[in-house]
Structure 1
Amino acid sequence: MASSVLLTGANGSLAIPAVQHLLSTYPNTTAILTVRNASASDANTRHLQEIIAPFKDRVFIRSLDLADLSAVHRFAASLAVEIASGTVPPLSSIICNAFYWNLAGPPELSTDGFEKTFQVNHLAHAALILRLLGSCAAAARILVFASDAQYPGKNSLEKYPPGLPGVNEQNGDDEWDSLVHPRNVKENDHTGYGFQRYANSKLAIVAWMYALNRRLHSSITDAADHQLKEGITVIAVNPGNLSDSRALRSNTPTSLRIMSRVIIKPLSPLLRVTVDPTMRSAKDAGVDVMELAVGKDYLHAEGYFTMRKKDESSAESRDERKQDVLWKKTLVWTGIGKEDTVVPV
């Protein structure tokens, strides 16, 4: 049966080999690939176009800026219409691969006035998923991207540990706005606070994944809702630390760029044995991610994964009270109402 896969950040280091694996291994699948710049003037998009050329009859490249929530809403609404009309097959997977960080400068704001790392990594993808759940096929799998950064003390770049605000009656959930409007940032430590913002976005992604899975399970018991197909699950995957990722050279300090070129990339096999067992190439990670998304071995898989292995996420990400506050705040920040999605909001 024909289906489609939606992949954001499709010209990224992990995404390009993932797309190649999808198109060469799953001939009945259509790929809907989003990039910020869909023009061949972008070298990474041009590389993507070369990869998909033999399969162009079942590939769509679409422009999408995740730093603009109105663009995300328009894109999702338009794609939902295409799927409803039969122009595009139903979604068998949504893969939220696109990401942003800035370890070399102060916090940046999105078009919507939110901290850009948190919006691109979490808010935009949450809005995309919620609006497209009704366009998913039965047993579809949704992948959001985690990182070992969501565990305090686990990533060598961490200086300030990640954390979600507390849940208490005195403060309500006002403190949660610090995730989208950073406070008390020291301008002389861009790397430390930039990585903390990235880690917080990954922690939020994982916590939100659990909240969404609970709502998907409870929604399907309501027989009156015919838009939500059975068996849709959400996976938060830590794809590993990628030795050849372009992210190590984008919005990073000079020291990290040099380390990436001189130590991390050439010594990756040694580092995998002695320091980090998840260190590997973007190609290997891309294949694993795509198999998690559409492979038959992972039918109905859900929860937290490290590479292809089911794992346990950080204790804070598993706090249901925090998950539920984050769920509600995410709806407010993204402007998602009950008319915009097929799960209870």
Structure 2
Amino acid sequence: MAYTRSAIVTGGTQNLGYYAALDIARQHPDWLVVVCSRSDREHAADSINEALKQRNTVFLPVDLSDSKSVRNFAKDWSAKDYPPIQALCLNAALQFPDKIVYTPEGIEATFAITHVGNSLLFHLLCPHLASQARVVITSSGTHDPAQKSGLPDPIYTTGEELAHPPPAIANGPGRGHYANAKLANVLWTYALHKRLSQKVPDRGIVVNAFDPGLMPGTGLAREYSATMRFVWNKVLPKLAPVLRAVYSANIHKPSDSAASLARLAVSPEMAGISGKYFEGRKEIPSSKDSYDEKKIEDLWNWTVRYCAQDESEVERFENLK
């Protein structure tokens, strides 16, 4: 079958990403739907195809903590002449709750996977985005201290210090790196929206940030201790109705949050909406810090400089070519 468009979901083999890919594939059997992760041990693509009695979902490997892997993914994408990308869901994230973890390239791993890898993937795939394409970046309410999520408040000084944290940040709670990375997701959303509207308005590409809410039982806690994994995977999902009543309404099953993610990515009612922050289906203000223009510009500039291999690529990334 000749597919008309592509949709890509990073972190698409499990939980939120899996169900979002399933929803998009169901709505668009004429699209190629690509689920990406380091591996597909659960055979997510096959599972989606079997559930829908279709064949339009495939798995392509990418390790977002490794820039070479991201570049190889993009190189292969270009070489195989896949259909234009209509929906790019930059969803992958990971949390390291204890001591700080660094990638082989030497940057803090939560930030590397959650922000840097997804951002590099966007820049490399930007030439392949269709007219009116949509980019959705999965953030989290943990980026906003006012939401009192239970995680440490994010500390944004510079992009460089998120990548290579000084002792005050490096030696802090491991989950603080996750809050920092999720704030970076929102800052980068606003930076990208600004540049899309200024530099390539004719392409009609939009970008929004998305908070799926707390989803007990997902793979986010796979780096936690055995006891905490048991609580997260076995206890909290059963308590979700109680938690919604006494703690927060923003607690959902992955499949429910995935429907909201897919809505942002493909629903006609969301066409043309850009530069916004959504909690589920509701547009809300993001954190106070996320609107700080100095932070927005610092993160954009650091990300472009870090991700680009040379000055010509800096120019490409800056101008969204």
Q: Same fold (TM over 0.5)?
A: yes
Question: Deviation digits for residues 237-265 of structure 1, max 9, x if unmatched?
Answer: 001111231323x1123553343246421
SS in 2 for 1:6: strand
Post-superposition CA distance 1:208-259 (Å, at most 9, x none): 11011100001125xxxxxxx52101111001111231323x1123553343
What does 1:92-103 align with in structure 2 at a 5 Å threshold? 92-103=86-97
Aligned partners of 2:86 and 2:130 also within 8 Å: yes
Q: What pairs with 1:306-345 in structure 2 (closer than 5 Å)? A: 306-335=279-308, 337-338=313-314, 340-341=316-317, 343=319
Q: Residue 134 of structure 1 contacts residue 341 of structure 1 at CA under 8 Å; is this kept in 2?
A: no
The secondary structure found in structure 1 opposite 2:173 is: helix
Cα deviation, 1:74-131, whole Å, max 9, x if unaligned, reads 2123213434xxxx2101011011111111x311111211111101000011111112
| Conservation of the 8 A alpha-carbon contact between 1:123 and 1:330 | yes
Computing the radius of gyration from Cα coordinates, the structure with the larger value is: 1
Given that 1:35 and 1:65 are in contact with CA atoms closer than 8 Å, whether structure 2 keeps it comes out as: yes
Gap runs ≥5 in structure 2: none
**Do residues 181 (structure 1) and 164 (structure 2) align?**
yes
* 2:277 is the counterpart of 1:304: yes
Displacement of 1:2 in angstroms is 1.6
Shift of the 12–185 alpha-carbon distance from structure 1 to 2, 3 Å rule, reads farther
* Residue identity opposite 2:163 in structure 1: V
User: C-alpha distance in 1, partners of 2:27/2:106?
Assistant: 41
TM-score for the superposition, normalised by structure 2 = 0.90
Q: Within 2, Cα distance between the matches of 1:55 and 1:199?
A: 39
Gaps of 5+ in 1: 166-174, 222-228
1:161-200 equivalences under 5 Å are 161-165=153-157, 176-184=159-167, 193-200=173-180
Question: What is the aligned counterpart of 1:89 among 69, 75, 83?
Answer: 83
Aligned length: 314
- Give the secondary-structure state (helix, strand or coil) at the position aligned to 2:136: strand
| C-alpha deviation, 1:134, in angstroms | 1.6
Match of 2:101 among 92, 95, 108: 108
Q: Relative to 1, partners in 2 of residues 1:186 and 1:119: Cα closer, same or farther, differing over 3 Å?
A: closer
**2:100 partner amino acid:** P
Contact 2:46 2:57 in 1 (8 A): no
Contact 1:338/1:344 (<8 A) preserved: no
In structure 1, what residue type is equivalent to 2:137?
A: V
User: Which residue of structure 2 aligns with residue 171 of structure 1?
Assistant: none
CA contact (8 A) 1:157 1:195 kept: no
Q: 1:63 to 1:344 in 2, by over 3 A?
A: closer
SS in structure 1 opposite 2:94? coil
Partner in structure 1 of residue 13 of structure 2: 11
Written as runs of structure 1 = structure 2, the 5 A alignment for 1:139-150 is: 139-150=132-143
User: For 1:121, which of 85, 90, 114 is the aligned residue?
Assistant: 114
Q: Aligned pair in 2 of structure 1 residues 210, 18: CA closer, same or farther (>3 Å)?
A: same
Task: For residue 280 of structure 1, report the CA deviation from its aligned partner.
Answer: 0.8
**Structure-2 residue corresponding to 1:208:** 188
Compared CA separation, residues 342 and 244, structure 1 to 2 (3 A): same
Give the residue type in structure 1 aligned to 2:85. L
- Would the aligned equivalents of 1:64 and 1:75 in 2 still touch at CA under 8 Å? yes
Q: Work out whether residues 141 and 149 of structure 2, in 8 Å CA contact, stay in contact via their aligned partners in 1.
A: no
Deviations 1:194-213 (A, max 9, x none): 11000000001100110111
TM-score by length of 1: 0.84
Structure number having the greater helix percentage: 2
* Cα deviation, residue 23, structure 1: 1.6
- After the TM superposition, which residues 201-240 of structure 1 pair with which residues of structure 2 at under 5 Å, given as runs? 201-220=181-200, 230-240=203-213
